[in-house]
Structure 1
């Protein structure tokens, strides 16, 4: 099958003020190439500034919808890209945190890379889950009741929903493959 994700819709949630470009673009392009429709969500509809390594401004993208105006049931999978600015801003946004919590309650898969799991920690949904991330999140994840591992990609199927996580931009090929494999199964 050339488009295994045909008919699927994937939401990417990021702050308007900064997201790691590669952690948005590579998974977005991977799921689009596999046939999925991608919707970019942010606290505000409008411009999303991407960065390279959190310091160098990169491209801008347009948020398709403000997260407060979005129904989690409309999506088949949620992606939380990293960079430090993105999840740090999202965990301060009540609408974004509520959306993540509501999405997890649907039982559909969630994928987070690098610092992206910070938003999951803030939403209170990592307890009993095994995940990986950028190494500096290890304490946050374990303090929130999660089990942290240092692996390229980890897919945790526990507690009714699947959580796909990776550590860093170098892991993007494995992360993207795990997203496509999970959503096409």
Structure 2
């Protein structure tokens, strides 16, 4: 269960990025930045960097609590721990860019928080808490072909020595695709929308 909760922590952390971007867009600070001689995407990159750091800190805190209450990844080697950390940073970056896009597309902070809610709910319909094979047949493809399931299975494999299969590559592909999509959506919206 712990790998699912760790990635759920990322999903809940990045909602703050959506809310803070929407708040900045509506409170005039972005209008001020637009008049300054700064690289335009630097405002968004700052939000993403801050959110990824918050997400990683949240995962470390939740992971420490999990270790304190009995989670024992005894077979994980140092390279596997580093790979798990890299996966967490990559996945957090992908979700943060999507959240920033949601924040830019939202009319206010409340709407941004609501629109980013699927980032918390998607882990609930993944393999985080229930094995895929025990789900109803019609629901298994929904759970299997979404970004959280391969990320959770990869994290499980790295920390608990379970088979990863092609989930590692799927996680990287999902993360890069979501990062690219979120970055393009965010920068296009930011450059077009003079709120």
Question: TM-score, length-normalised on structure 1?
Answer: 0.30
Task: Write 1 or 2 for the structure with the bigger share of helix.
Answer: 2
Larger proportion of strand: 1
TM-score (norm. length: structure 2): 0.29
Larger C-alpha radius of gyration, 1 or 2? 2
Q: Which has the higher contact order (CA 8 A, sep 6+)?
A: 2
